[in-house]
Chain A
Amino acid sequence: MGMDLGRFIKSPDFEIRITTYRDIFQVEALEHDRFGEEYKKLSAAITMSKSDLGKMGLKSGDRVRLTSNSGSVVVEVKESKRDEPGGIAFMVNSPWSNAIISGETGGKGIPEFKNIAAKISLAKEEITPLEKLVPGMQA
């Protein structure tokens, strides 16, 4: 417990780059129930290389806060099962990644879904619920 508290007190911010992708299991969950737990579990997550996690003092299963100029969201961090060179973190397209994607398009109608600059830090809060991400939506 004491050690855990220590992690939060220090919990520094790190700058990261995030890119989004699509995942068949998450799409399957979306078609079935976009308000369900499975969709949330597969969406509200960020995947990073082992070495990046190590550098930031994070471990798989930690909750992290991601903050960009456009918004902030709490998701679970996961270690990539692939041999990643590091430097980029990955999120599937979902309301959780959309919460931190800029609406800036240079007037061209396409947001930067694939290149998000954000800060990451260990979080105590629960994973941001869907209702909080969607303006005007009731549970």
Chain B
Amino acid sequence: MVTCTGCALLCDDIEIVVENGRIKEIRNACRRGTSRMKGCVNRLIPSIYQKPSDIDSAIRKAAEILKSAKSPMLFGFSNSTCEAQVRGIGLARKLNAMIDDTSSFCQGMLIEKVLQKKFRTCSLEDARNRADVLIYWGSDAQDSQPRHLSRFSYFPRGESRQRGYEEDRIAIAIDVRESNTAKICKGHFYRIPLKGDREFILALIDALSGKVPSYDTKKILELAGILKKAEFGMVFAGIGLTYSIKEDTGVLLTLGDLLPNFHIMPMVGHYNMRGFNESLFRETGFVNRVKFNGNVIHEDKYSILEILKEKRTDALLVIGADPLLSLPGTVVKHLSAIPVICIDPCTTLTSKIAAVTIPCAVSGVESDGTAVRMDGEVIKLSKVVENNYASDEIILNRLMEAV
């Protein structure tokens, strides 16, 4: 059995048949995971200023760029093993650099609250064994963590939920879009307007406190009734909810207080985003957006977005991320003006403009290590294919020695 790194569910029941050093067959994984483990068609090659090079020269050049930069930044890490993440944080410390990961414009805010123990949460196994009311809020798990409902929430049998979805569990979707997950939550789909989450939460708070909610009164009262009866409830908080309420997580805390039987779990996409958040939190007390300068500074202005917008870095190392693909076009303009170092198994939009590219192994397929599942459980990754690609951990180690 091997672990899939297609998303932060880190399914560890995958069977892989390898023949002649290549994956021949993948069993049990979903579409997303299968595609990830099969790998990309265009592997990255080592290069310097877009000319083919060798790994050693590429690493030397990368070290040179980082050392001579006044304001270097390291970004990515959500698709790296925990071991590589710890090396990355060490490298940032040694370089007096800024460091941030994709959680900065994703679920970082909620994960921080979980690590600070501001939310009641639980393991996915607890959810499978005990949960009777499941709320997918701004989360389309069916498309983003495709086996979430089948392995851990709605469909499986559980210790105290012998009859799964047929009788023992209610799944609810709250979303602006009738997602594939919402389609499964038949009769319990609450469509909200764009940015309507806060108002919906406030109405629910009213209903749970015995007041008449001003908004969609009948449906809110009906929902409040279901939630009050829950023995073990889950709020799977998706990116839709996070983007909508932004830093106003206080309303979610208040709602949590009124629902003592409920647990909140941020739905994480990238397989080891939570791993990075936990490692940085352990070392600095913050989950992202950090600058080292002998001490640790944490400010919003050290987020990758603000740094690129304000053009405040003169060398960027990107590992396991593709900011040119995932960030607004107006923000990433600065990337073509500075030396970018790109470490990735695959050619990416960002690698196409990078000053230095360094190919690495696909973690969980070509290199092993550990990763943190969306609920905080540490999961082992294995190496199933033997080849010459170095892991991102080894590459960062070598960079560390060279700077």
A interface residues (Cβ-Cβ under 8 A, vs B): 17, 19, 21-25, 27-29, 31-36, 70-71, 82-85, 88, 90, 93-95, 98-103, 105, 107-115, 130, 133-138
A94 to B327 CA separation, bound complex (whole angstroms)? 9
CB distance from A32 to the nearest CB of B (A): 6
A71 to B328 CA separation, bound complex (whole angstroms)? 10
**Which chain B residues lie closer than 8 Å to A27 at the CB level?**
32, 35, 143-144
Known: A23-B143, A31-B36, A109-B303. A71 touches B329 (CB 8 A): yes
**In this complex, what residue of B is CB-closest to A23?**
B143
**Which chain A residues lie closer than 8 Å to B328 at the CB level?**
70, 98, 101-103, 111
| Interface bits B178-193 vs A (CB < 8 Å: 1, else 0) | 1110000000000100
| A32 engages B41 (CB within 8 Å) | yes
**In this complex, what residue of B is CB-closest to A92?**
B143
A34 to B346 CA separation, bound complex (whole angstroms)? 10
Task: List 12 additional contacts besides A29-B35, A31-B35, A137-B352; criterion CB under 8 Å.
Answer: A19-B176, A19-B194, A32-B38, A70-B330, A82-B178, A84-B178, A94-B325, A98-B328, A101-B328, A107-B306, A134-B352, A134-B353
Q: Main SS of chain B's interface residues?
A: helix
| A105 engages B41 (CB within 8 Å) | no
| Interface bits B84-107 vs A (CB < 8 Å: 1, else 0) | 000000000000000000001100
**In this complex, what residue of B is CB-closest to A99?**
B329
Known: A19-B176, A32-B38, A133-B329. A114 touches B247 (CB 8 A): no
CB distance from B48 to the nearest CB of A (A): 16
| B335 engages A24 (CB within 8 Å) | no
* Of listed A24, A84, A90, residue having the most chain B CB within 10 A: A24
Q: Is B383 in the interface zone, CB < 8 Å from A?
A: no
* Of listed B140, B142, B176, B347, residue having the most chain A CB within 10 A: B176
**Which chain A residues lie closer than 8 Å to B41 at the CB level?**
32-33, 36
**Which chain B residues lie closer than 8 Å to A98 at the CB level?**
325-329
- 25 example contacts (A-B, Cβ-Cβ < 8 A) are as follows A21-B179, A24-B30, A24-B31, A27-B35, A27-B143, A28-B31, A31-B35, A31-B36, A33-B40, A70-B330, A98-B325, A98-B326, A103-B331, A109-B289, A109-B306, A114-B244, A115-B194, A115-B195, A134-B324, A134-B329, A134-B332, A135-B333, A135-B336, A136-B353, A137-B349
A112 to B242 CA separation, bound complex (whole angstroms)? 11
| B178 engages A113 (CB within 8 Å) | no
| B327 engages A111 (CB within 8 Å) | yes
Known: A93-B326, A95-B325. A32 touches B194 (CB 8 A): no
Point out the residue from A33, A83, A137 that lies within 8 Å of B42, measured CB to CB: A33
Point out the residue from A35, A130, A136 that lies within 8 Å of B335, measured CB to CB: A136
Q: Is B146 in the interface zone, CB < 8 Å from A?
A: yes
CB distance from A86 to the nearest CB of B (A): 12
**Which chain A residues lie closer than 8 Å to B34 at the CB level?**
28
**In this complex, what residue of A is CB-closest to B340?**
A136
| B35 engages A107 (CB within 8 Å) | no
**Which chain B residues lie closer than 8 Å to A115 at the CB level?**
194-195
Interchain residue pairs A-B with the least CB separation, the first 8: A109-B303, A136-B336, A31-B35, A103-B331, A101-B328, A28-B35, A103-B330, A24-B143
A108 to B304 CA separation, bound complex (whole angstroms)? 11
| A88 engages B322 (CB within 8 Å) | no
Known: A99-B329, A135-B333, A136-B336. A109 touches B104 (CB 8 A): yes
**In this complex, what residue of A is CB-closest to B347?**
A35
**Which chain B residues lie closer than 8 Å to A101 at the CB level?**
328-329
| B140 engages A22 (CB within 8 Å) | yes
